[in-house]
């Protein structure tokens, strides 16, 4: 068996073993899943990667692994086994980093699944072979555009409990890494790549620079009020904590006398 086949089998085997243990062992599952507070407050960064090898149930696991199997061949034949592995792992990390950005103020938000890595392989394939067909008749580039558009809508509207942010982050990460491995792909396929990547990158930029964007209603999006209220509360709490930390850090460095009258008043308010 060649290296490409071994890498694919290794990913499938490790994911099945880790996920199946997580199904039976809740302590193991809780130790390695993606939880915002565990990552940001307790610096347990391994979860950004390890959560990609856990799944909610057998259906979730089997669907992801079947999808990965069907798309693994194209990438490995073009870029090789090592690039395939790198793209897959970067996709898991990239997807979870976008989830962390979006849910950073919802400390109890948790997630698992290899969808970020799977989508990385799918979108890497689209970047390299945009003319191939997906789902029997849809051109890969058109599928990519539709998928990104729907993901943005789903993230923005909070329409379900699916981790669309991890899917989108993983897909775009995979596409970018594939282009780094084979720069000529951009020259050959720049139009479909830009049509897919630019809306996603702009959306991510807006989220990063304007966090409140995800809390605002519009004509096109219906807000889940319970979610938005919780998210707003956590966002405001985090902002206050950051402000308090800055004031305490200033006192630690320069002493209490370094604070202005306004800063002292604010410290008093935040300390209540």
132 close to 71: Cβ distance less than 8 angstroms: no
109 close to 214: Cβ distance less than 8 angstroms: no
**What is the per-residue pLDDT across 2-29, written as a single tens digit (0 to 9) for each?**
565 788 899 999 999 999 999 999 999 9
160, 243, 252 from 247: Cα distances, Å: 39, 6, 9
**Lowest-confidence segment of 1-10, 151-160, 174-183, 233-242 by average pLDDT:** 233-242
Q: Give the model's pLDDT for residue 220.
A: 44
Answer with the residue of higher pLDDT: 121 or 271.
121
Q: Give the model's pLDDT for residue 256.
A: 83
pLDDT band at 272 (very low <50, low <70, confident <90, very high): low
Interacting residues of 214 by C-beta distance below 8 A, sequence separation 6+: 102, 155, 156, 207, 231
Answer with the residue of higher pLDDT: 122 or 162.
122
CA distance between the termini of the chain: 65
Interacting residues of 147 by C-beta distance below 8 A, sequence separation 6+: 167, 171
Arithmetic mean of pLDDT, 90-103? 96
Q: Give the model's pLDDT for residue 179.
A: 97
* Topology of the domain covering 3-215: Rhomboid-like fold (1.20.1540)
Name the pairing type of β-strands 138-139 and 133-134: antiparallel
pTM, 2 dp: 0.78
| 260 membership: H or E segment, kind and range | none
> In terms of C-beta density within 10 A (0-12 exposed, 13-18 middle, 19 or more buried), how is residue 36 classed?
buried
| d(C-alpha 21, C-alpha 171), whole Å | 27
- As a whole number of Å, the CA-based R_g of the chain is 21
pLDDT at 228 over 60: no
**What is the per-residue pLDDT across 19-66, written as a single tens digit (0 to 9) for each?**
999 999 999 999 999 999 999 988 999 999 999 999 999 999 999 999
Phi, psi of 79 (to 5 degrees): -105, -20
> In terms of C-beta density within 10 A (0-12 exposed, 13-18 middle, 19 or more buried), how is residue 90 classed?
buried
**Lowest-confidence segment of 105-119, 168-182, 231-245 by average pLDDT:** 231-245
77 close to 65: Cβ distance less than 8 angstroms: no
């Amino acid at each position: 068996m060649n290296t490409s086949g071994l890498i694919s089998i290794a990913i499938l085997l490790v994911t099945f073993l880790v996920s199946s243990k997580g199904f039976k062992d809740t302590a193991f599952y809780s130790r390695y899943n993606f939880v915002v507070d565990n990552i940001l407050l307790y610096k347990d960064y391994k979860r950004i990667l390890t959560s990609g090898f856990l799944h909610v149930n057998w259906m979730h696991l089997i669907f992801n692994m079947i999808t990965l199997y069907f798309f693994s061949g194209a990438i490995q034949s073009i870029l090789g086994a090592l690039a395939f592995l790198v793209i897959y792992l970067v996709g898991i990390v990239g997807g979870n980093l976008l989830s962390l950005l979006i849910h950073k103020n919802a400390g109890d938000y948790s997630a698992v699944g290899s969808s970020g890595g799977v989508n990385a392989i799918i979108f890497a394939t689209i970047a390299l072979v945009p003319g191939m067909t997906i789902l029997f008749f849809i051109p890969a580039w058109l599928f990519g555009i539709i998928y990104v558009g729907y993901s943005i809508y789903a993230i923005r509207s909070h329409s379900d409990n699916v981790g669309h942010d991890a899917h989108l982050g993983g897909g775009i990460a995979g596409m970018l890494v594939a282009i780094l491995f084979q720069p000529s792909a951009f020259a050959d396929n720049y139009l479909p790549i830009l049509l897919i990547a630019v809306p996603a990158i702009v959306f991510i930029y807006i989220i990063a620079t304007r966090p409140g964007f995800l809390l605002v209603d519009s004509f096109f999006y219906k807000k889940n009020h319970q979610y938005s209220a919780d998210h707003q509360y956590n966002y405001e709490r985090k902002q206050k904590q950051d402000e308090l930390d800055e004031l305490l850090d200033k006192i630690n460095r320069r002493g209490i006398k370094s604070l202005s009258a306004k800063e002292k008043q604010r410290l008093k308010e935040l300390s209540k």
